[in-house]
Amino acid sequence: MKHLSDAELQAYLDREASISREEMEAHLHACAHCRSNLAAYRRLYGGLKDETGFLLSANFADAVAARIEKRGERKADLLELSLIVTALISGLAAVLYFFDPGAVFKNLLQQGVAGISGLMRGIPLLQGSSLHILLFTAAILALVGILDKMIFQFRQR
Amino acid sequence: MQAEKELIDKIVAGDAQAFRVLVENYQRLVCHVVFRMVANEADREELCQEVFVKIYQHLKNFNFQSKLSTWIARIAYNTCINYLKKKKAPLYDDLAGTEADSPGDRAVSFIESVPGELPLPDEFAVNREIRLFLHEAISELPPQYRAILTLYHLDEMSYKEIGEIINLPEGTVKSYLFRARKLLKERMLEKYSAEELLP
Ligand SMILES: [Zn+2]
């Protein structure tokens, strides 16, 4: 008598359609050797379905949420920092664009403390119409305002 | 599927409550994979958290080409493999290696240390003993085999899905599953008589 193979026994418990269950059951009825093999497989299958010990703590979802929030904050902090750096650089660029630092320095050297007026002369736009002063101030204020609003929004998130 | 898509859209849009629902829906699956693959109890829960952080970060890239469960299990599997690599655990051991060290393993010594003079253990105790023995035997298999056993038996995934998760052809998944179960069955028959194994 040919015993049932491991492949057949596993297929039997996997309920695969490729095997003839009746034939196998007839053999199992008559054969203690294959019955004990099947019993071992049954135990194994039961054990593999056993979830004992697979348990996360009750506040697992909270812990994950907290970790994600923390990451978000770190990201927002980084963004805030980059916004501040951008503001500084554009502020500096604006100063360099509107002022003529070389002329300011030269005037200061030439005229000493009295060079306050020289400072004024170093700003060519200030010597023009007062419209330029207004535009300059408005541009800086708008820039500061926009950056501040962005920073505020990221803090809120 | 539709409900899942809506859930994902909400999460990507920043809905924290929706993400919590996803965590609750899939924490069992992630826990199965991680707990089966990582023996170190202190690190397991942390790893499960890490898996969900990754899911959150990459969810916007999920393209519905596979089932969400398959995608999530793959992240869990890869996270564990990376962890084991870092810990320098042997990853690609063959089953032959684990067969060789069967005498003197911990489960056996645990069971043999039960004093013989006590009254016969009741059915519950025998079941518990067999369960512990099995648990130990499974934990000695290489990680891929453990993952396959878990995904097939606990999460009822198909060979095809398991293949996608651990990046192996379907046929290989099937033969690994067969070999692992045959080996475990042999271990059990070495240890227990047929009567003890009957329910
Ligand atoms: Zn037989």
Q: In angstroms, how far is CA A68 from the centroid of its own chain? A: 8
- pTM greater than 0.90 (yes/no): no
Give the number of beta-carbon pairs within 8 Å between A and B: 98
Q: Which of B49, B181, B188 sits opposite A63 (nearest CB)?
A: B49
Alpha-carbon gap: B22 to the closest alpha carbon of chain A (Å):
9
Cβ–Cβ < 8 Å for B141, B97: no
**Amino acid letter for position B50:** E
The residue of chain B nearest to residue A68, with distances taken between CA atoms, is B53
Residues of A with CB under 8 A from a CB of B: 6-7, 10, 32, 35-37, 39-45, 47-57, 60-61, 63-65, 67-68, 71
Instruction: Decide: helix, strand or coil at residue A111.
Output: helix
Q: Minimal Cα–Cα distance from B76 to chain A, Å? A: 15
Please tell me which of A63-77, A97-111, A135-149, B28-42 the model is most confident about, judged by mean pLDDT: B28-42
Q: Are residues B16 and A65, on separate chains, in Cβ contact within 8 Å?
A: yes
Predicted pLDDT at B173: 97
Write out the two tokens for A149.
């609003």
Query: Does B194 sit within 8 Å of A35, measured CB to CB?
Result: yes
Q: Residue A123's Cα: distance from chain center in Å? A: 45
Two structure tokens written together for B96: 């032959």
B82 CA to centre of ligand 1 in angstroms? 44
What residues does each domain of chain A span?
6-48, 60-156
* A contacts of B185 (beta carbons < 8 Å): 6, 37, 40-41, 44
Q: Which two tokens stand for residue B141?
A: 């298999």
Nearest to A49 among B23, B27, B154 (CB): B154
- Report ipTM for this prediction: 0.81
Would you call B197 and A43 a contact, using CB atoms and an 8 Å cutoff? yes
CB contact under 8 A, A44 and B184: yes
**Among B75, B69, B68, residue whose Cα is nearest residue B50:** B75
Which pLDDT value is given to residue B2? 82
Q: Which helix (H) or strand (E) holds B59?
A: none
Residue B140 or residue B108, greater confidence = B140
Asked whether the beta carbons of B102 and B60 are under 8 A apart, the reply is no
C-alpha–C-alpha distance, residues A147 and A21, integer Å: 74
Q: How far apart are CA B152 and CA B142, in angstroms?
A: 16
Q: How confident is the model at residue B116 (pLDDT cuts 50, 70, 90)?
A: very low
DSSP per-residue codes, A52-89: TT----TTHHHHHHHHHHHHHHHHHHHHHHHHHHHHHH
CB atoms within 10 A of CB A148: 12
Task: Compute CA distances A57 → B16, B108, B135, whole Å.
Answer: 20, 30, 21
Per CB-CB distance under 8 Å, the chain B contacts of A72 are none
Q: Give chain B positions within 8 Å (CB) of A35.
A: 194
pLDDT for res A84: 80
What DSSP character marks residue B67? -
**Digit-coded pLDDT (tens) for A15-62:** 998 889 999 999 999 999 999 999 999 999 999 999 888 999 999 999
Q: Which residues of B touch A56 (CB under 8 A)?
A: 27, 31, 45, 48
Q: What domains sit in chain B, N to C, each tagged with a CATH number?
A: 2-86 (1.10.1740.10), 121-197 (1.10.10.10)
List the one residue out of B58, B55, B57, B51 whose CA is nearest residue B34: B51
Q: Per-residue pLDDT averaged across B103-113, rounded? A: 36
pLDDT on residue B159? 96
Q: Determine what percent of chain A falls in helix, strand and coil, rounding each to the nearest 5.
A: 80, 0, 20
pLDDT tens digits for range A125-147: 555 566 777 787 888 888 888 88
Q: Per the CB < 8 Å rule, is A40 touching B185?
A: yes
A51 CB neighbours in chain B (<8 A) are: 32, 154
**C-alpha distances out from residue B121 to B21, B118, B127, B134, Å:** 44, 8, 10, 18
* Residue A105 pLDDT > 70: no
- B27·A40 Cβ contact <8 A: no
Tokens 């028959």 found at: B189
